Structure 1
Amino acid sequence: MTPSAVLHPSGSYRFLPAITAYSAGFAASDGYEITALRLLDCPTLSIAFERIDAEINKRRLPATALAGLQLRSPGAFTFEGFAQFNNEYRKLLIDRSLIIDGVNPISRTNVIPIHNQPSAPSIAVAFIVTPTQGHSGSDFVVAGAGEVDGELGAENIVARGDLSQKGLSLKVECVLNIMLERLHALGASGGSPTTVNVYTAHEISGLTEKIEKKLPSVSRHGYSTWLTTPPVKEIEFEMDCASYSKWVVI
């Protein structure tokens, strides 16, 4: 069950609490918009955070303007390894005073490219929330989710180990339902995303029809498929979605 959205103390966005490593998504408040900062060279975490910090400072924004990240990793983690990585990653957020009373408001997608993997965990995109005149606060980012029904654990992977078309369809259905739950919790709907990303290494029969049924906005805006795998072993399919006002390269 997706939790209700919580207003960030800054007032600039509301977020969906999830686990200690990340939130399930966020949405800009009235008077704010989301800008995607693209790091085309996909630098390692420490270098990327330095560049993101510099961009935020250049814009004269508080550190809490950072609200979401898209990561790329070199290889799949075990669930135990994923927990260890998350603890190390969380320290970078703590260093920037981004954790609120133990709760992590920063959304995240983390996937592994099939080709040209980075040598270490890296950042491809950062999302910041910025004030704007007369904006309706309609921007949002839904964090990446794989086919895990419930708490993050191997026993909750939908159709675990089943790579048949039937198994893959069950995985897709699970992830699409998670996307819809998070969209609704943020006050959006399946017709709201202007950016939809699919992360998988598998050819899935009827995928476009399955997505369009739950997220009809793809009939207007399309979707992107990335030849990647989710960050945890045995998870085979992941998605995220968003609607943001601007993007820039840093």
Structure 2
Amino acid sequence: MNKPDQPQATTLFAPGGYRYIPGVFQYSAGVIAAPGFDLVRVRLREILPLAEGFERIEAFLGKEGRPLTSFCACELRSPAPFDEAGFRAFNRLYVETLQRWGISDGETNPVARTNVCPIIDPPATPSFYAFTFTVERPAERPGFVVAGSGESVEGKANYRDHTIRLGDISPEAMREKARFVLGEMERRLSRLGASWRETSAVQAYTIHDLHPFLADEIVARGAAGSGLTWHYTRPPVVDLEFEMDCRGVAREVLI
């Protein structure tokens, strides 16, 4: 895997020991361990409400001897898709803790994130499912996480006006949505100096049937080399129907 040392590809977040792809204020598009560091993913046995989850993570990082700035990616679960105003309000609340931790300045945020909404047994409030942090350990292939992305162009004034086949969940529309999302995953992987070949896990988030395009759109392009984990969830914003993320992490733990 090539090292992403080009300034236009990633930005160094030195206090955390990782580089990131600049994104929107609520999250970055992806992260990769800086030289001398690697990534560890931690999944929670039970999801924890946002405030409680931040407290658990803070205690965990302290026990591991890592600074709060080592927090570099997270996976959230929310009760139901937000409307655009609700999503903005949630993001502002989420970023407050990252500001307190010295990670975000309120406008620039290096932490990658996926936030999706389970249909069955959803949480009562936005909650933590998993998180990733950096450790001081040289790695031949530095760990990386690509943030979740749905079938809309991010960073625009709204999602609706930039969503692929808005409101259409026909098999042809779902294929087109998936193709767009896969392309965005590949763009982000490329900026991290990686490809599908280096991924250790690829995750899809949708309540719609992905089998019609699983073989030729996902498997054929190499996105399922380590298998594909399908979460029966919705993306976090109303009217989005398909989301993916991926990672290449050598060490994962369950707590």
Q: 2-side partners of 1:37 and 1:192: how far apart?
A: 19
1:75 aligned onto 2:47: no
Q: How many residues align?
A: 245
Q: Which consecutive aligned stretches of 4+ in structure 1 deviate over 3 angstroms post-superposition?
A: none
Name structure 1 gaps, 5 residues minimum.
none
Q: Which residue of 2 aligns with 1:213?
A: 220
Does the CA contact (< 8 Å) of 1:32 and 1:137 recur in 2? no
1:127-148 CA deviation, whole Å, 9 max, x = no partner?
A: 001011x422421000000000
Q: 2-side partners of 1:187 and 1:240: how far apart?
A: 16
1:242 aligned onto 2:233: no
SS at match of 1:42: strand
Q: 1-side partners of 2:97 and 2:106: how far apart?
A: 16
Q: Which residue of 2 aligns with 1:4?
A: 9
Indicate which of 77, 99, 105 corresponds to 2:104. 99
Does the CA contact (< 8 Å) of 1:149 and 1:174 recur in 2? no
Q: Which residue of 2 aligns with 1:147?
A: 151
How far 1:206 moved relative to its partner? Answer: 2.4
How far 1:86 moved relative to its partner? Answer: 0.5
Q: Which residue of 2 aligns with 1:173?
A: 179
Aligned-residue Cα RMSD (Å) equals 1.5
Q: Which residue of 2 aligns with 1:159?
A: 165
SS at match of 1:14: strand
1:41-64 CA deviation, whole Å, 9 max, x = no partner?
A: 101011111111111101111111
Indicate which of 199, 219, 228 corresponds to 1:223. 228
Name structure 2 gaps, 5 residues minimum.
1-7
1:232 aligned onto 2:237: yes
The percent identity for this pair of structures is 34
SS at match of 1:201: coil
TM-score normalised to structure 2 length: 0.92
Does the CA contact (< 8 Å) of 2:117 and 2:234 recur in 1? yes
1:57-136 pair list within 5 angstroms: 57-100=62-105, 102-132=107-137, 134-136=138-140
CA 1:167 to 1:53, structure 2 compared with 1: closer, same or farther past 3 Å? Answer: same
How far 1:32 moved relative to its partner? Answer: 1.4
Q: Which residue of 2 aligns with 1:202?
A: 208
Range moving further from structure 2, 134-143 or 231-240? 134-143
Q: Which residue of 1 aligns with 2:142?
A: 138
CA 1:11 to 1:73, structure 2 compared with 1: closer, same or farther past 3 Å? Answer: closer
Does the CA contact (< 8 Å) of 1:66 and 1:127 recur in 2? yes
1:203-225 CA deviation, whole Å, 9 max, x = no partner?
A: 031224311233x1523x11100
TM-score normalised to structure 1 length: 0.94
